[in-house]
Amino acid sequence: MVIQKLKALSLSWAAWMVLTSPALATPAHPLDPLSWDEHWDVLTILADEGKLTDDTRFSRVTFAPPEKRRVWSWRKGQSLPRKAIAFMREGPTTIEATLDLKARRITDWVERTDVQPIWLEGEYGSDIVDKVKEDPRYAEALEKRGIEYPMFVDCSPGPRGFLGEAELADIRFGVVSCGYPVGARNSMARRIEGFTVIVDMHSKEILEFRDDEIVNIHDTIADYDLGSLGPLREFDAPIKVEQPKGHGFTLDGNMVKWDNWRFHVRPDHRLGIIVSTVTWNDEDRERPVMYEGHLSEMFVPYMAPQRAWRDKNFIDAGEYSTGGIADPLEPGLHCPETAVFMDEIVADDTGRPKDRRRAVCLFEAYSGDINWLHKHEGRPKRELIARTSARLGNYDYIIDFRFQTDGQIKVAAGSTGIVQAMATTEKNATEPSDSDTPADRYGRFVDDHIIGVNHSHYFSFRFDLDVDGPENSFEMTKLKQVILPEDNSRRSLWVTEPVIAKREENAKLRKNLNTPAVWRFINPDKKNAHGYSTSFQIAGGMTARTLLSEDDYPRRRAGFIDHDFWVTPYKADELYAAGLYPTESKPGKGLPEWTAENRPIENTDIVAWYTMGMHHVVRAEDWPVMPIVWHDVMLRPFDFFDENPAMTSGLKP
């Protein structure tokens, strides 16, 4: 039996030495991610319990945090339970295994056949592609398009947005996409358009093969690498950032201290970066601000009705985070040369740990901006940025948590990369279309025979704010017009009207310029020197109100976009706005399902969910690589202090 287990894991002698090593020492902080040894502990515990076979595959291995109250009360050197969760697959069965790493035992084992976990790395290179290429319809499709060298065609299956088809329900299926990269480095300009192949990833069957539109491969080149472009223009006077006395922050493991801020930061397989236990040191008093903040989910639906495009409605973080969502950060590109980097350990398909270098960076920034100013007195703006980058197919996303000296936290999402491109028979917008529908009906020409397809971006963030403690309420301070008496020379003004949300239904909100309001998490039991409840405001930037109909399946699967803002009572397992398993998910998962109970949210531990985004009408300037576009939401102290915390004189005693 032992030999079979070791064989299933395909362990090398070096790995065996790791497996027989003593138990791991207590981590430096209860929210530290799993170490290399702890990843191996997960595997050996499962092996000792007889839970691994040759078919076992791992979607994700992560640590299970201790209870929130115990984390807040934890002090350095104290020991807390150390648990891990392994998300596994055995054929069509999805398994969630919880393990006690100190006791070396499995504490919970759940098997499910009603969900689909994220795709494995190996599935993208599945041997189903060989079966597709052997199908005579494939050769016929290439011949119709005048492809001279079929041996150079690249194909790969990928997860597909479920549209509710009865024949595909409960099947792990993928759609095979192909490109013809001959003579081009940027294969996004060489998509083979018009045919659709849907496959069953378990049975390796071809479920659907359709060839609806014949578009020949054109010789358009859209390469963007420096080797193709040559030297880019530069300034004769470079800007150089130096910190001759070192960083202005200190890093103790994953704990960061900067200015009055204290927080824990860690890379995360699915979410990229998580910022936790955020406090402000107020005259040597650590005041809680936020227990946890992170990206929760992304949704990117494309706006083309063709058979090969209608399934392109991606729930990115939950569907495409296989192998870890974070892309390695490059010094001098993603982050300045002065940055400090954090590595990540992720599990591969077999569960074995592998290093992901430079998954998170920390750096200080000064851009010449102003923090506060009056006449000739003021303070320049300096901030600390915790950053990660996620490359999800064609797009690259930058996620920032920017801590500021005035007590604000700006959370920003930047979109860059390559827009999804559709090949067309028409060369540009001046050529008449062969059909009644203009070629650029669903996008805009960005190159010869290339259309950048219209789409939307939604970023859902989860903020577990604990303003001066976990018991908070959500207050909408509405701005209400008041008509003044006839004897007043002014005719109108506005006043504030605070409303406390009692239940979840009262806090499902959309930004509306016609009904302005200030959204705040308040602590009813804590007052500032002026008698107001201490609070933090959630001040959102651009939102993208959905234009999808209520009965459109992609919208129903990503129901969190129905509102810009939600408030829920804290639950440790409610982390992802579209649910734990969004791959091929049914409608209503995540926030719509949880809030259907309409739970009470007054003076209790509550969580804010904010969705920001944009509708992207593609410009010529977005090709071949899109300049970065930023969106942000501010977490602002609102009566949390007695005066401006960025004043150099400090707070009043």
Active site residues: 316, 395
Three-state SS for 547?
coil
Three-state SS for 70?
helix
Q: Both tokens of residue 163?
A: 């549209």
Three-state SS for 173?
strand
Asked whether 72 and 288 are in contact (CB, 8 A), the reply is yes
The residues, ordered by sequence, that sit 6+ positions from 99 with a Cβ below 8 Å of its Cβ are: 41, 42, 45, 46, 83, 84, 85, 86, 105, 106, 107
Q: Which residue has the tokens 């930061």?
A: 265
Query: Cα–Cα distance between 463 and 484 in angstroms, integer?
Result: 40
Q: Minimal CA–CA distance to 560: which of 616, 501, 509?
A: 509
Q: What are phi and psi of 294, to 5 degrees?
A: -170, 160
| Bond preceding residue 22 cis, omega within 30 of 0 | no
First to last CA, the chain: 69
Strand order in the sheet with 443-447: 421-423, 450-453, 443-447
Three-state SS for 121?
helix
Query: Cα–Cα distance between 44 and 559 in angstroms, integer?
Result: 39
* Residue 203: other Cβ atoms inside 10 A: 13
Q: Which helix (H) or strand (E) holds 133?
A: helix 128-134
Q: Minimal CA–CA distance to 260: which of 240, 284, 232?
A: 284
